[in-house]
Amino acid sequence: MALHIFNTMGRQLEPFTPQDDNHVRMYVCGMTVYDLCHLGHARVMVVFDIIQRWLKACGYQVTYVRNITDIDDKIIKRALENGESIRSLTDRMIAALHEDADRLFIERPTHEPRATEYVPQMLDIIERLQAKGLAYQADGGDVDYSVRKFPAYGKLSGKSIDELRAGERVAVLDGKQDPLDFVLWKSAKANEPDEAKWPSAYGLGRPGWHIECSAMSHALLGESFDIHGGGADLQFPHHENEIAQSEGAFGKTMARFWIHNGFVRVDNEKMSKSLGNFFTIREVLERYDPETVRFFIIRAHYRSPLNYSDTHLDDAHAALLRLYTALDLVSPEGVQPDMQHPLAERFAVAMNDDFNTPEAIAVLFELAAEVNRSQSRELAALLRQLGGILGLLQRQPQDFMHAGSTAEDEAWINTMIEERAAAKKAKDFARADAIRAELADKGIELKDSAAGTTWQKKS
């Protein structure tokens, strides 16, 4: 089965081929770096990491751009509250973003442009839009996009101009000609720091949020590219506005495929800072192994809601432990996997069906069961290889099983295992059972085999 992707633009599965032979160009809207990343950000990063990994596994060259918004109202406000420069704040948050992403085994994108590095390109697009009658300078000095003059507005979200007008509340125009218009260039305010102001033909100011992505995607991927992605919350108005800007300026289809991942939910409510029900990646990683968190995210289809709970994460850990246990019992080291094996082909069919990771993971569990039954090193190698495409199962099994244990913990556990072995040798089975029970009370599960006794932390 050839790769098919659910295209938000057409609202259906469509066969995928890149515009340029074997080269896929993909842009994903990244983070606004005024605070630590939360689990919703983690889902976006993991989802598109999986997508670019699978595209590479299919033999494509991938240019993957994930931007960073480093100038924004929230950033300015937070920097002023902290008494630090905007650059100091954004540098710290970008470093934290990278640390969190690295821990989740997320590969770095090909390019990670910062918005502040592309202000001249943004101004060029604004000038093009103004020359075409799609932008105007409002009374207050801002430059706004004239939505009604772009006939295709609403084609991504399915919202027509008439529907938008019918649903709008009384709006403050702030110099706009129409309440639907959105800002391209914000006129500088006296109380804003100098580092938030750039010179332009419209006076000192800074870019609006939407224009940033149009400029960065155009500069790094061209006027038209293959895939544009992001969270479902960006479909409208952000992505709709990007289309209006880019297609209005250059007259070409901005992106052929639009991919949107579903929300993360807590108690069936969307996780968001405004609701106060969000968890930072770091808070979650204080309690759970990073690979467990990654596995939890990809067990759900990327378009489905992802419901966060300790129960679901505990279950993810237990499930991942089963896969690692198979690799612990049968080493795949030094063995080449058979990528023509029927289970490898089923894995490919699942991933080619709109990156269906739940089905792909089901194949991993079938493989693990076969490894346990047959003790086949070739199947163990295939399990590890397919897991690697998802960014899983690349650690030594014992490293995962012992994750979170200190050196002192491990020394004590090993001492107890040795004492238990001596008790069994002396036929003191009551003492051996007591040691097993004592370890179990502390969350340590023992596994006996012909090769000896190993241990793992229970989920």
Return the beta strands (E) in 342-451 as ranges.
444-449
Q: Which helix (H) or strand (E) holds 433?
A: helix 429-441
CA angle, 213 as apex, 210 and 219 as ends, to 5°? 140
Tell whether residue 186 is among the known ligand binding residues: no
Report helix, strand or coil for 337: coil
- Which stretches does DSSP call E strand in 247-368? 255-261, 264-266, 269-270, 306-308
Distance of CA 252 to the CA centre of its chain: 28
Integer Cα distance of 400 and 17 in angstroms:
38
41 is in an annotated binding site: no
Say if residues 296 and 281 touch (Cβ distance below 8 Å): no
Cα–Cα dist 453/432, whole Å: 13
Residue 443 corresponds to which amino acid? G
Number of H helices, E strands in the chain: 16, 15
Strand 182-187 and strand 205-207: pairing?
A: antiparallel
Q: How far is CA 132 from CA 137, 216, 251, 323, in A?
A: 13, 21, 11, 58
Sign of CA dihedral 253, 254, 259, 265: negative
Contact 178, 196 (CB under 8 A): no
Q: Is 273 annotated as a binding residue?
A: yes
Q: Which has the closest alpha carbon to 76: 191, 233, 162?
A: 191
Contact by Cβ (8 Å): 306, 295: no
d(CA 260, CA 8): 7
Nearest to 155 by CA among 19, 231, 253: 253
Cα–Cα dist 234/224, whole Å: 19
Residues in the chain: 459
* Distance of alpha carbon 375 from alpha carbon 90, whole angstroms: 51
- Residues 227-246 as b or e (16 or more Cβ within 10 Å = b): bbbbbeebbebbbbbbbbbb
Q: Tell me the binding residues for ATP.
A: 273
Q: Tell me the binding residues for Zn(2+).
A: 29, 213, 238, 242
Q: Tell me the binding residues.
A: 29, 213, 238, 242, 273
